[in-house]
Amino acid sequence: MSEKITLPPVSYTGWGSLSHLLEEIKRFNAQKILVVTDPFLLDLGLTNKVVAPLEEAGYLTEIYTEVVPEPPLAIGEKLVTYTRVNGFDMVIGVGGGSALDLAKLAGVLASHEGNVADYLNLTGTKQVTKKGLPTILIPTTSGTGSEVTNISVLSLETTKDVVTHDYLLADVAIVDPALTISLPPKVTAATGVDALTHAVEAYISKNASPVSDALALQAIRLISNSIRTAVSNGEDKQGRTDMSYGSYLAGLAFFNAGVAGVHALAYPIGGQFHIAHGDSNAVLLPYVMGYIRQSCEKRMKDIYEAMGFSSTNLSQEEASYKCVAELKRLVEDVNIPSTLKGFNITEDALDSLTSDAIEQKRILARSPMPLLKEDIYAIYKAAYNGI
């Protein structure tokens, strides 16, 4: 058996890595640069850490701030049109997954025709066929891994869909934990559990390989060990650094091995209730893993160990139960509600959530245990009741 491993061409990681930005831009002969960011980050002064050195160096920069969390398709359409008509020769994304996903979308679709909707995975009819503008992605959350994936996620009316192609991969990713210091505890928690979910789902994915396993297990070690500190003391440099490396590794892991049941069930929660992606994943993680536990006991034992627990004297079955309990404890420790009720989701929504989740066939196909409609409903029901 062989696997395709795709890694983005260049990444800079570690504290202060933003200092490499100018030398990278020079490689692309860019003059007019579009910076896609969200308005909150502009007010916070974070965007300026990227833009000020560019302007000092004489680059023409335009800051585009029509970015909202979990961006709807319409926001993507507007940005792509704006990029096409304004003749940029580079795109830089600065922000969480929402800004980065829009930046890579604009970069690639600037060189294509038609609407963004035409390129959506579930309902689109067109394919991405060529490389767009050079793109540099600079995350300010430790969560999505968007800086190293070829995926752009967009919110639709009741669920989410993606545009995905290797041409959406950033030319350069700059993952500087110093940019995450200002993340409030709630966002640190949600984005951090999102990254943990990427690593866990990549590790139990049917498409896992020795390469994605190595990335996923190290991500689980780093995130499990640092997330509580990063949430309780955001200024802790080591905690932020470990979270930054953890989310980066988790991004590489899931980009190559894929995510599975948690994400398939989380997308409709995000779509129907506008709950942050990290929170939707976090609330489901223990219940999906509890439901599919028997199909991947050995791997759950490995995850339990990577979370820092000894499984000596435990059977695989015992360790897998403990793994589910520790995942739930972690979610609770970082103050994320651990039931759907905790997000004010009512029981009558479980049917429509199930109908939307079953449509995520490509993602569900990677689950080590097949998840049919009745399984999905049962997981939502368990997450609703908290058992």
Which residues form the interface with ligand NAD (CB under 6 A)?
A: 38, 40-41, 44, 46, 69-70, 95-99, 101, 140-141, 143-146, 149, 151-153, 160, 179-180, 182-183, 187, 191, 194, 277-278
Minimal distance, residue 367 CB to ligand NAD, in Å: 18
Q: Which CB sits closer to ligand NAD, 258 or 382?
A: 258
Question: Residue 183: in which H helix or E strand, if any?
Answer: none
Q: Which CB sits closer to ligand NAD, 160 or 299?
A: 160
In 3D space, the residue among 31, 235, 278, 268 whose CA is nearest the CA of residue 146 turns out to be 278
Listed in sequence order, the DSSP H helices in 139-184 are: none
Q: Which CB sits closer to ligand NAD, 93 or 134?
A: 93
Q: Which CB sits closer to ligand NAD, 83 or 180?
A: 180
Minimal distance, residue 278 CB to ligand NAD, in Å: 5
Q: Return the structure tokens found at 84.
A: 């096409």
Whole-number Å distance between alpha carbons of 39 and 95 = 10
Q: State the pairing for strand pair 135-139/32-37.
A: unpaired
- Is-contact 65 93, C-beta < 8 A? no
Minimal distance, residue 253 CB to ligand NAD, in Å: 12
Three-state secondary-structure class, residue 256: helix
- Check residue 307 and report its DSSP letter: T
Minimal distance, residue 1 CB to ligand NAD, in Å: 25
Minimal distance, residue 211 CB to ligand NAD, in Å: 18
Q: Return the structure tokens found at 32.
A: 């007019």
Q: Which CB sits closer to ligand NAD, 357 or 382?
A: 357
Q: Which CB sits closer to ligand NAD, 141 or 320?
A: 141
Question: Residue 346: in which H helix or E strand, if any?
Answer: none
Minimal distance, residue 103 CB to ligand NAD, in Å: 10
Q: Which CB sits closer to ligand NAD, 69 or 368?
A: 69
Ramachandran quadrant class, 187 (left: phi over 0; alpha: psi -120 to 50; beta: rest):
alpha
Listed in sequence order, the DSSP H helices in the chain are: 21-27, 39-44, 46-56, 73-86, 97-109, 185-204, 210-232, 237-257, 261-273, 277-292, 297-306, 316-333, 350-357, 361-364, 373-385
Minimal distance, residue 240 CB to ligand NAD, in Å: 10
